[in-house]
Amino acid sequence: MSKPLNIDRLRKEFPILKTKINNNNLVYFDNAATTQKPIKVINALDYYYKNINSNIHRGIHSLAEIATKEFEKTRSIVKKFINAKNEEEIIFTRGTTEGINLVANCYPKKYLKENDEIIISEMEHHSNIVPWQMICKEKKLKLKVIEINKKGELDLNSFKSLITDKTKFVSLVHISNSLGTINPIKKIISICRDNDIKILIDGAQASPHININVQELDCDFYVLSAHKMYGPTGVGVMYGKSKLLNEMPPYMGGGEMIKNVTFNKTTYNDIPYKFEAGTPNIGDVIAFKEAINFINEIGKENIQNYEKDLKNYTLEKLQNIDGLKLVGDAKNRIGVFSFTIENTHYYDLGLLLDAKGIAVRTGHHCTQPIMDKFNIEGTTRMSLAIYNSIEEIDYFIESLKKIINK
């Protein structure tokens, strides 16, 4: 089906990997924060601005036509990528954060009333906590939190025990950005279906790594960020079932999202446009298409196989380092590793690794509640992507040991 992975050739597609950092080769392990971009994405941006830049949808001149077609082509490719039913279910946003805010704002306005309950989990990114806190305060809803166990896995009993007949919505991360845990969302969605609860899945970390099929999952909303899946910054996708999108009120008002405007009465446009007010991020949406093409050309199966090897290799090496403590030990996980080192602060460690050219992230990774849970201030997080190599992991482990044993 799909070609075997040629890692050397694949790495050549990423110009930034040739960069020197503090006189060392860049070793980029900050992929959970943002991924690097293949040359075809960069070239697509370049091509757009040099050849077809134009405002879209309303124009009838050639550039407007071409740009509109390219823009809508991305919508169609995204639809296939997550297997949505219709293109109109694909809404372009700035990123995962905007997608969640959109749903947290518009869904409750239409469907929820005082004292209704929303459930999130202890392992959510701040972007899947704060919007719900804000709307719960505004609309007097109740926010409940699923607990996680010591391994950093969702406690399904905790989830079930939280459900009451007032529970109307669940918002849950697909893969945790600080623990790497893959949540059993299929099971959770089916519990939601049984209890007539709508559910949003935060796919920011899942989208570059595992297969996504929203129809099979049967989730109501799914959100992701292009920049975390080899695409440009400033673009995200909010998938929603068309029935819900049709019924929900719009988020922002402005150009594009209206059918008719008078001072007496304004009627809104059909979906997806109803939720895309103003000039969108045209250039980046068009270039995002090439990121999905990049993923499709390798194939999600190949990606999963290769990344699983990298993950297992890294896990074993990390577990053998004295004084290193992994935070999160889920059975079902991806190659995102948070850890602490005895007697070495993550800030010092991050800088010392950077001196060797290695980029990792340090701190709370926008998941303070997890840090509180594990009673730590922060961690060092090393996260993998498709262009990382065994050699890079060896170099990282070796560097880590040198720093610790100093």
- Please report, as residue ranges, which positions from 361 to 380 form the binding site for other proteins (by CB under 8 A): 362-363, 378
Residue 406 interacts with other proteins (CB under 8 A): yes or no: yes
3-state secondary structure at position 221: strand
DSSP 30: B
Q: In angstroms, rounded to a whole number, what is the distance separating the alpha carbons of residues 361 and 116? A: 37
Query: What's the one-letter identity of residue 258?
Result: I
Residue 207 interacts with ligand PLP (CB under 6 A): yes or no: no
Q: In angstroms, rounded to a whole number, what is the distance separating the alpha carbons of residues 21 and 350? A: 14
Residue 369 interacts with ligand PLP (CB under 6 A): yes or no: no
Give the residue with the Cβ less far from ligand PLP, 225 or 380: 225
Q: Which two tokens stand for residue 392?
A: 């890079």
Burial classification of residue 343, based on how many CB atoms lie within 10 Å of its CB (0-12 exposed, 13-18 middle, 19 or more buried): exposed
The entry of ligand PLP, other proteins, a second copy, none that residue 173 binds, CB within 5 to 8 Å by partner kind: ligand PLP
DSSP 84: -
Instruction: Choose which of 91, 100, 103, 175 interacts with a second copy (CB under 8 A).
Output: 100
Pattern 330-359, other proteins, x by CB under 8 A: ---------------xxxx-xxx-xxx---
The entry of a second copy, other proteins, ligand PLP, none that residue 290 binds, CB within 5 to 8 Å by partner kind: none
- Sheet of strand 324-327: strand arrangement: 324-327, 336-341, 379-383, 361-363
- Chain residues 262-291 in contact with ligand PLP, contact rule CB under 6 A: 278-279
Where do runs of H (alpha helix) occur along 223-345?
242-247, 282-298, 300-319
Looking up tokens 């790594």 gives 209
Q: Looking at 63-71, 196-204, 314-322, 323-331, which segment touches other proteins (CB under 8 A)?
A: 63-71
Instruction: Choose which of 34, 195, 344, 389 interacts with a second copy (CB under 8 A).
Output: 34
The entry of ligand PLP, a second copy, other proteins, none that residue 205 binds, CB within 5 to 8 Å by partner kind: ligand PLP
Looking up tokens 């948070």 gives 338
Binding residues for ligand PLP, rule: CB under 6 A, are: 95-97, 125, 127-128, 173, 177, 202, 204-205, 225, 255, 278-279, 366
